[in-house]
Structure 1
Amino acid sequence: MMHIDEILEYLPHRYPFLLVDRVTEVESGVSAKGYKNISFNEPFFTGHFPNNPIMPGVLIIEAMAQLSGVLGFVTVGRKPADGLIQYLAGSSKVRFKRPVFPGDRLDMESEFVSAKRGIWRFNCRALVDGEVVCVAEILTAEREV
């Protein structure tokens, strides 16, 4: 399990764009699980949407990509401080099943599929209360900085 202090070692993101609160499981080269607590105080709820706040779908994708980034870094045994970064390179097969509301806990799963020439592929899904919210294939690009 990774608490926030360790997550900050694996992800370069910071407030308000860090979208992983806890990593509950990570197995190098296999999979990772984690979650994001969705608070009404999230800055995006101000405009998305007034009187009907829902988490933007692109941020759900970003949250799954960040969890996938942790899995990628753990797999190669490096961290951003070592001069490596992973960018979101693409998403496909994205399907949204239901909205995410304030008060929800967004549980995420990322499964490593492949890595070729610095491009990593992950199968991801996000759930709330065991119900699938989103599925996606996420690509990240590894780059030395």
Structure 2
Amino acid sequence: MTEEATVLESADIHKIMALLPHRYPFLMVDRIVDIQGDRRAVGIKNVTANEPHFLGHFPSAPVMPGVLIIEGMAQTAGAICTLATGGGTPQLVYFMTIDNAKFRKPVVPGDRLEYHVVQTKKRGNIWRFDCVAKVDEAKVAEATVSAMLVPRDPV
């Protein structure tokens, strides 16, 4: 395991924000509790009632939109890519594909989402991950996602 991976074994929101360009309300990972090099990671999202998407997504019976669950899985995968390429290198991780997405149970305020992400393929700057989202050990969603690392434009 690399030194950077050891640092990220218990990444809080500040470390995640240093790795990912996402910010509120689009940052869908609060913590990464385990990462094993460029192979796998577990990210955490604490779902709260005051998140903006609940204002319009069934306000009387709030349900987290499935696309945001997939986004959280993709962001966890993006943290793996960013860390594996040096963490501070001038690259962005662009989400490319979603395959075999399935939603098993609704996610509601008060749930603690766990994103389990496993790299299945890496060829050049393209990465592929199998992802599962769980609440209380029950699978709530799954998908295969791929991402591409691209140079960040100098600003």
2:95 to 85, 88, 96: 88
Distance in 1 (CA, whole Å) between partners of 2:84 and 2:138 is: 28
Matched pairs, number: 143
- Alignment pair present for 1:103 and 2:110: yes
Q: What is the match of residue 4 of structure 2? A: none
Distance in 2 (CA, whole Å) between partners of 1:111 and 1:103 is: 26
1:54 to 57, 63, 66: 63
- Alignment pair present for 1:134 and 2:141: yes
Deviations 1:70-101 (A, max 9, x none): 0111222233xx31000111110111100000
For the residue of structure 2 that corresponds to 1:51, the secondary structure is coil
Q: What is the match of residue 124 of structure 1? A: 131
- Which residue type is aligned with residue 54 of structure 1? V
What RMSD in Å do the two structures reach over aligned CA positions?
0.9
1:73 to 76, 79, 82: 82
- Which residue type is aligned with residue 127 of structure 1? K
Q: What is the match of residue 144 of structure 1? A: 151
Unaligned runs of 5+ in 1: none
Identity %: 41
Distance in 1 (CA, whole Å) between partners of 2:112 and 2:142 is: 16
Distance in 2 (CA, whole Å) between partners of 1:112 and 1:32 is: 9
Q: What is the match of residue 42 of structure 1? A: 51
Deviations 1:106-130 (A, max 9, x none): 1111001111232110010000011
Deviation at 1:45, TM superposition (A): 0.2
* 4+ residue segments displaced more than 6 Å: none
Deviation at 1:34, TM superposition (A): 1.4
Unaligned runs of 5+ in 2: 1-9
- Alignment pair present for 1:6 and 2:8: no
**Structure 2-normalised TM-score?**
0.89
Distance in 1 (CA, whole Å) between partners of 2:91 and 2:126 is: 13
